[in-house]
Amino acid sequence: MLSFGRQVTIRTIKGQSPVRQIDYTFPHIVYGANKTVATKINHALITDFLQIDPKEVRKSIFEAIWPQEGEGIPAFLSGISWETHTNTSKLFSLAISAEGCGAYCEYFTNYYSFDLKTGKLLGLDQLFTQDGQRRMLDSVNLLKKHKLQSAVKELQASLQDTAQKEEHERAKETMELYQDCLEWGGVESMQDLSFHLKGNSLFIHIGRCSAHVNRALDDIGDFEFSFRPADLKQFLTSYGQKLLL
């Protein structure tokens, strides 16, 4: 058993795909103070990340995400890992990562935060008031815009100094990618934001500008912006203040 703080401990569930013999691991939450809460958290994690209802498992909790026989292009996950960000008497926050494969393979991370009193999976719409949600969307869109504009300026400057044609072409293509991203506009819904809690900060994540086909050009990747909950107090619901402050 691996211990991440005094509130929650994590055991590792193991399995192996019968088709490609890929080894799998997944976190199993143990919370001695409230076993019902632990059950709710485990159910939420397995249902969302492993794409299966624990009550419908036949052989393994990994059976929905490992390679299946007879598929033309098998869709599966591999290399699952996790990291705990917050483990207090009130909150448990972790990130689970994996490589998802179909027509191509791509690494991704999902973030989860739970109220340890109820086992509820938290969303930003529960933590922020309606006005707070609008302010948060405006803030992250402005921060994203500034980061892209700064990157475009640096690329424009590099085009004047880059002697090699290959580097020149890459800089030009990356700049066009970011300019297109600026024209697409910003995030319109809180549902498009993911988040995690760590220390005294709230980290907001926005998906990258690139698709898989041009990801190699994208030096920024996913966007991450941090905020201090104390600075957001007036925009938090009473529930959000109770959990975050």
- Looking at the structure of the chain, the number of domains it has is 2
Are both 97 and 209 inside the same structural domain? no
Boundary (domain end) residue, out of 90, 122, 154 = 122
Are both 117 and 130 inside the same structural domain? no
What is the extent of the structural domain holding 18? 2-122
Would you state the pLDDT for residue 167?
81
Structure pTM? 0.92
The encoded tokens of residue 232 equal: 């957001």
Boundary (domain end) residue, out of 97, 122, 147 = 122
Are both 109 and 131 inside the same structural domain? no
Boundary (domain end) residue, out of 103, 122, 141 = 122
Separation CA 98–CA 13 (nearest Å): 15
Residue 185: left (phi > 0), alpha (psi -120 to 50), or beta?
left
**CA–CA–CA angle 26, 106, 180 (5° rounding):** 135
Mean pLDDT, each 10-residue run in order, the chain (245 residues): 64 93 96 96 98 95 90 82 96 97 92 97 97 97 97 92 75 96 92 95 97 94 97 98 95
Are both 8 and 118 inside the same structural domain? yes
